[in-house]
Structures are given as C-alpha cells and as structure tokens.
Amino acid sequence: MGFFKSFIPQETYEEKVFKGERPLFGAVGVKLQNCVFEDGESPLKESKDIELYGSMFRWKYPLWYCDNVLMENGAWLDGGRAGAWYSRNIDIRNTLIQAPKTFRRSERIMLENVSITNAAETFWNCSDIKLKNVTAAGDYFAMNSENIEAEELDLDGKYAFDGVKNVTVRNSRLVTKDAFWNSENVTVFDSYISSEYLGWNSVDLTFVNCTIESLQGLCYIDGLKLVNCRLLDTTLAFEYTNVDADITGGIGSVFNPGKGRIKAARIGELIMEDNEIDPADTVIECDDVAVRSDKPEWKR
C-alpha cells in the first residue's frame, strides 16, 4: 500500500506540452495523461491531488511543496533535478528516474518498480519511505532518513544509508562502500551486501540470512547481531563491537572485538590485543582458528 489518496479530478490534460515557469503552480485535483513538462522551473510547485500517467518531466524542481501525487508509467529525465523536495504523500510506480537529488525533506513516499539511474543524494532527510523492486545507482543514498521499508532493492553507490533510523531491508542486493554508518535500529533480511567498512558507529544493527563481503567492516557498533550469515573474504571484523554472531562458514580475520559472542566454522586469524580490549569479554565458538595473534600485522 502506498500513501497516495484517490480523489475525483477537477480538470484533465491530455497530450499537452507545458513550457515556461510554473505553468500549473498551485494546481488542485488535476489529472495529466501523456503530458510533457519542458523547460521552465517548478511546473507543479505548491500543488495538491495530482495524477500523472505516461507523462514526463524534463526540467528541474517539478514537485516542490506538493501533497498527494501519483505518477505511473512515466519518465523523469536528467534535467528534472531536485525533483520532489518538501513534499508528502508521493507514489511513483513503473517509472524511470534519471535525475539526481530527487527526494529531500519529504515524507510518506512510495516507489514501486522504479529505476533511478542517477540516485546521487536521493532521499536525504526524508521519512516514511517504502521501496519495492527499485534499482538505484548513486552515492549518498538515503542519508539521514528514517522509517524506511525496502524490498528487492538493487543499490550500487558509495555511502548509502548514512545516519538512518528505523530501517528494514529484505531480499536486496547492496554494493555500497561504508553502508549504514551512524545508523540506528536497522535490520537486513535475506540480502547480499558488499561494503567496505560496513556499519561503523551504529547502534542496533542486525543481519539475518545475509551474505556479506567487507574489509574492516562491522566495527565500532553497539549491538550488532548476525543470524545465520555468511562472511565472504571479510577481514579485520568486529573491532570494538558488541557482537552476537552466528556465521555460516568462515571469517577471514577477527580483530579486537569489544564483547559478546562469535560463532563460526573457522577463523583465519584471531587478533586480540589485551592492552586494548579484555579478550575474556568475547566468547569465541570456533574449533578451527588458523592463527592467534596478540597484535595486528602493522604492529609486528
């Protein structure tokens, strides 16, 4: 279910090309079919109750300060940058978005069957977001946003989900350096994550049935939980982290965990510096630890 609320249109436009500044400023109860918004800023600024079908945005700031907008089977071209700011109740379905910085300081947004080919700085400082079958490529996705539900999200871009709160991700593929930094209350189910320095400085970060690849990831976390997860080529993990981890398979190396429990079939190298941590604070459940060290390689 999305956030858009149906209404009876008061005016309908079909196959119309809009040009110039603010052509439909402050429109209320408008249905647009197969329309194009050409050059001219803020075509639908301050509008309410808008339906767009098979329509296209070519120019910037199309949906600022808007309320209750549905867009289906449309296109949001590169020129339509900074598209939906300070808006609410926005549903976008079966649409291509080429433009960056599309959502900022907006709330109650749903995207379904949407491709965002330049998702740089998209979903900044937003709340109540639902994503289903979304493909996105771009850095700094969803920075400082909260109350996010994502299912079948394919994301490619650095520094995703920095500073987010209350996030659930399911059946997704995330290839993003430094994902989930400074986050709070995040749970990821049944997903693939490739992320250098994954999850630093976060609180209550959980992965369930996930495959994770990371260099020096899962560190500096207060409340990390991994349930039935696989760690591929993951090294220097868990530094100063309070962790409860059940790992299927092996871990490349574990470095100075803060406290908790780590269970794995094998660990390539277990590094515990007793002048930095208390090794007794972490229970290691592993019968196959290849190397035990009291200092990392760069101190030897």
Give a yes or no: residue 144 inside a domain.
yes
- Check residue 157 and give its pLDDT: 97
Give a yes or no: residue 57 inside a domain.
yes
pTM of the model: 0.96
pLDDT surpassing 90 at residue 298: no
Average pLDDT of the chain, as a whole number: 97
Task: Convert the pLDDT of each residue in 14-64 to its tens digit.
Answer: 999 999 999 999 999 999 999 999 999 999 999 999 999 999 999 999 999
Give a yes or no: residue 87 inside a domain.
yes
**Rounded-to-integer distance, Cα 239 and Cα 259, Å:** 10
Give a yes or no: residue 38 inside a domain.
no
Tokens of 176: 């993003």
Backbone phi, then psi, for 286, in 5-degree steps? -155, 125
pLDDT surpassing 90 at residue 216: yes
Number of domains in the chain: 1
pLDDT surpassing 90 at residue 200: yes
What confidence category does residue 223 fall into, taking pLDDT thresholds of 50, 70 and 90? very high
- Check residue 74 and give its pLDDT: 97
Give a yes or no: residue 37 inside a domain.
no
pLDDT surpassing 80 at residue 300: no
Work out the burial of residue 285: count CB atoms within 10 Å of its CB; fewer than 13 is exposed, 13-18 middle, 19 or more buried. exposed
Task: Convert the pLDDT of each residue in 127-148 to its tens digit.
Answer: 999 999 999 999 999 999 999 9
- Check residue 296 and give its pLDDT: 85
What confidence category does residue 257 fall into, taking pLDDT thresholds of 50, 70 and 90? very high
Token pair 């349930």 in the structure block, residue: 227
Give a yes or no: residue 135 inside a domain.
yes
Give a yes or no: residue 27 inside a domain.
no
**Rounded-to-integer distance, Cα 88 and Cα 274, Å:** 52
Give a yes or no: residue 59 inside a domain.
yes
Backbone phi, then psi, for 265, in 5-degree steps? -70, -35
pLDDT surpassing 80 at residue 239: yes
Residue range(s) defining the domain that contains residue 215:
50-299
pLDDT surpassing 90 at residue 181: yes
pLDDT surpassing 90 at residue 222: yes
DSSP characters over the chain: --S------SEEEES-EE-SS-TTTT-EEEEEES-EE-SSS-TTTT-EEEEEES-EE-SS-TTSS-EEEEEES-EE-TTS-S-EES-EEEEEEEEEE--SS-EES-EEEEEEEEEES--TT-SBS-EEEEEEEEEEE-SSTTTT-EEEEEEEEEEE-SSTTTT-EEEEEES-EEE-TTTTTT-EEEEEES-EEE-TTTTTT-EEEEEES-EEEEES-S-S-EEEEEEEEEEEEEESB-BT-EEEEEESSEEEEEE-B-EEEEE-SEEEEEE--TTTS-GGGEEEE-S-EEEEESS-GGG-
Tokens of 133: 């079958």
Cβ proximity of 239 and 214 under 8 Å: no
Hey, which residues does 170 pair with through a beta bridge? Answer: 151, 189
